[in-house]
Structure 1
Amino acid sequence: MMGNGMGMGWGWLFWLLVLVGIVLVIVVAVKAVGGSVRREGNTSRAEGGRPGRSRARNVLDERYARGELTTEEYRERLTALGENQ
């Protein structure tokens, strides 16, 4: 016989919590591994770029600001990126 049914009620709750815990561990692991990957064009001010600009454009701007590129080189590379001003 099954008894008074209390054991079944708590048993499914326990396994449900175990399942939720496993799912949470998987979600946290995926975010930890995939969190370092940045998508192109998804930049923010916190990253030092302007919203809507590609990472390549931000790097180009930084190099130009540091004086690593001449104005001519900067404009050529902007044209190559297809991001003329």
Structure 2
Amino acid sequence: MMWDGGWGGMGWMWVFWILVVLGTTLLVVVLVKLAGPGGTGRGGPVPPGTGPGRAREILEERYARGEISTEEFRERLRTLEESGR
């Protein structure tokens, strides 16, 4: 028996297209959020507690606890200062 184009087939087509529209909308929203200022950290403000100032603090804390030697501290500090330029 052949399908005569009744509402049975059309109902499933509507569901399919609604899912396509919802999926496309979700994809666009995710891409916009990732590309925005808070998404990947590129092009946006630096979150509090990060950046070169915090890196130096961590380095000083590790040196104070004796986790790294004086030579290693100076080398890493020099690297931080060079990358901050």
TM-score by length of 2: 0.45
Of the two, which has the highest radius of gyration?
A: 2
